[in-house]
């Protein structure tokens, strides 16, 4: 970290719009709030499920994380159609 900047590292499955970026220290709080508001607009069940996966997957190897994700998709992160889990997100995307 350099004196006047800090790195905000967020790569989120919840929102592919979130990415790693460098933010001046003076704008860190503002940037974190913006990112939090963006995440909060997503389906709460999906956000909580992804957070759960991240916490439970810490320290596991790739196979353990894969199995954990596979189990999550079959249980608490299951959705009928993929669009069901991302309706709010897709509604905010501009039409192409």
CB-based burial label for 26 (10 Å; 0-12, 13-18, 19+): exposed
Residue 6 backbone phi and psi in degrees, to 5: -135, 160
Condensed to tens digits (0 to 9), the pLDDT of residues 73-92 reads 898 888 766 666 677 677 77
DSSP, collapsed to helix, strand or coil, labels residue 28 as: helix
If pLDDT is split at 50, 70 and 90, which confidence band does 3 have? low
pTM score? 0.54
pLDDT value, residue 15: 42
Condensed to tens digits (0 to 9), the pLDDT of residues 13-51 reads 444 445 677 888 888 899 889 888 888 888 888 889 989
């Amino acid at each position: 970290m350099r004196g006047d900047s800090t790195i905000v590292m967020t790569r989120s499955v919840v929102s592919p719009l979130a990415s790693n970026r460098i933010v001046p220290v003076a704008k860190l709080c503002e940037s974190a709030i913006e990112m939090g508001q963006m995440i909060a607009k997503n389906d709460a069940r999906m956000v909580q499920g992804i957070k759960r996966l991240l916490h439970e997957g810490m320290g596991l190897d790739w196979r353990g994380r894969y199995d954990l994700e596979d189990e999550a998709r079959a249980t608490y992160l299951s959705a009928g159609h993929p669009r069901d889990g991302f309706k709010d997100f897709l509604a905010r995307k501009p039409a192409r």
